[in-house]
Amino acid sequence: MSKKYFGTDGIRGEVGLGSITPEFMLRLGWAAGKVFSGGNNSKVLIGKDTRISGYMFESALEAGLSSAGVDVCLLGPMPTPGIAYLTRTFHAQAGIVISASHNAFQDNGIKFFSGQGEKLDDETEHQIEAQMALSETQMTVVNSSDLGKAYRITDAAGRYIEFCKSTIPSIDLSDMTVVLDCANGATYHIAPNVFKELGATVISLGIEPDGLNINRDAGSTNPENLAKKVLEVGADIGIAFDGDGDRVVMVDHTGRVVDGDEILYVIAADQKQSGRLKGGVVGTLMSNLGMEQALARLDIPFSRANVGDRYVMADLASQGWSLGGESSGHIICLDATTTGDGIVSALQVVSAMILDGKTLAELTCDIRKLPQLMINVRIGAEVNAKTLCESELLVSEVARIDREFNGKGRVLLRPSGTEPLIRVMVEGEDTALVNAYAEELAETVRTALS
């Protein structure tokens, strides 16, 4: 059964429109409270990134949960994976994240974690949506003596910092200079302290959030300034997070950007060498073929899931593996945590550098990435992206390019699960051909929209 509100990564949109309103969040809090209430000790954690609208939605969710008789623990600004960790360690019934991840400040959204610190399953999301339907006419308030109370967890940041450090062996980073780009997002007060406490010399960018500058020309989606800073100061490594801290992109000492595919390879190779790798690696349809080939040379099995961390997680569970991720930098290390975590993933790479005595450039030198181009075509809110991608015109165009590649390239056309976009990806051995085909397919999408 399809869902009315939940997408592939929670609920997301432009503030003030559709579901992203205070009234909706009040009802959502009430609906979630009804689903997660389990007696006198029921509690839900709420954390957020640094968007100005987060305050508004935090208050609305708090009121809804309280009216349903559920206690609320407020974490303040906290990376998404930090909220997952704290939900688990506080034995809460659920965790709520107020964030639109890598989107600009005009957007916001909601993600949920179960009491185990994992993304909600479809059944629970359906239960919340059923309560949402009831909330339109039956949003009753519990007796005053049963109302939920609200608490602020003042040591949330310190708890999560210690957890991040615990995910790697005891190492000394005193000889390492690290440049961090926190995207003016949720990691701004976490990541610098993690690396400083491990002994590194830390130079921080994007640590002055004002509610409006999250992800603006910064972070994992805009690593150019990070690369410049790494070269300027002669740093050993650069690390960029997205607005909510579940993604990471890195820069080696030469200023070259290292994406999620290469990060995944470095972690897999290190775990294979130390005997810690459980099975193989799960990537996505967007994962570069060069990474798959590099893993094969190490005899590491590889599987492709649909794009989206929930699909990577499902594939990991079905195979009994523990390591997977996306090209965007969403890396899942289930041997260390329960969800994608930018800081934890970066620490796995830094640990490999220290223990192997190699630079990041050396650890990635065995990957020969094939030329790949992705073009995002923006669509209107009224457009059904899935139906458009399955139209005769676009299916025919994709098939034509596939035939002309003759087995030496890949074409992927898919709707974004988080933004009003259709993503056009073309990969192959010849850069000029890849670029030409990607532009042709993107233009065909634009034609189909007109």
Query: Which amino acids are annotated catalytic?
Result: 101
CA-CA distance, 195 to 114, in Å (whole number)?
A: 29
Per the CB < 8 A criterion, the answer to whether 329 and 245 are in contact is no
Q: Which residue has the tokens 């992800």?
A: 215
**Backbone dihedral angles phi then psi of residue 410, each to the nearest 5 degrees:** -135, 150
Q: Which residue has the tokens 């690290």?
A: 178
Structure token digits, residue 108: 């916001």
Counts of helices then strands in the chain (DSSP H, E): 15, 18
CA-CA distance, 125 to 447, in Å (whole number)?
A: 36
Of 3, 151, 153, 132, which Cα lies nearest the Cα of 68? 132
Helix H or strand E encompassing 77: strand 71-77
**Backbone dihedral angles phi then psi of residue 283, each to the nearest 5 degrees:** -110, -155
Of 180, 27, 201, which Cα lies nearest the Cα of 110? 27
CA-CA distance, 382 to 403, in Å (whole number)?
A: 32
Structure token digits, residue 358: 């190699």
Q: Tell me the DSSP string of 85-114.
A: HHHHHTT-SEEEEE--TTS-TTEEEEEEEE
Residues β-bridged to residue 114: 94
CA 334: distance to chain centroid?
A: 15
Secondary structure letter of residue 16 according to DSSP = T
Per the CB < 8 A criterion, the answer to whether 284 and 311 are in contact is yes
